[in-house]
Amino acid sequence: MIHLIMGLKGSGKTKKLIDSIHETLAHVSGDVVCIEYGKKLTYDLNYRIRLVDSQEYGISNPDMLKGFLSGLHAGNFDITNVYIDNLYKTIGSDRATGEAFVQWCAGFAATNNMNITITISDDPALASDAIKQYL
């Protein structure tokens, strides 16, 4: 399952993401991973969350993030939830490329029985119907 948290800068997306992560952690039995751009969430998340700085792994485009997610899953089948903070910064892309990535994530999540939550800094009113279904 895919869930998007979308809004303009300063609209509280990261706060919603953190709240969602802690809520998930309270009832999930699998592992939880959060991929962020930079190290700003280090002190906001529970120590049981596997926090990954995408910059440390050189993730700079959608294909690299797809490979990274695939590798995470291949190395740990117990991952039930993945959170990606600030998609456009992480993959260095625009709306069209981000939409294609979200569609790929939907298929990946369904195939591998995962939940993926992604924050996107963009106006939700400008989102396509393909993206709006995940809001």
Residue pointed to by tokens 């490979």: 67
**Average pLDDT rounded to a whole number, residues 46-51:** 93
Q: Is 120 helix (H, G, I), strand (E, B) or coil?
A: strand
The string of pLDDT tens digits covering residues 84-96 is 999 999 998 778 8
Residues 6+ apart with CB under 8 A from 103: 130
Residue 15 — pLDDT band, cuts 50, 70, 90? Answer: very high
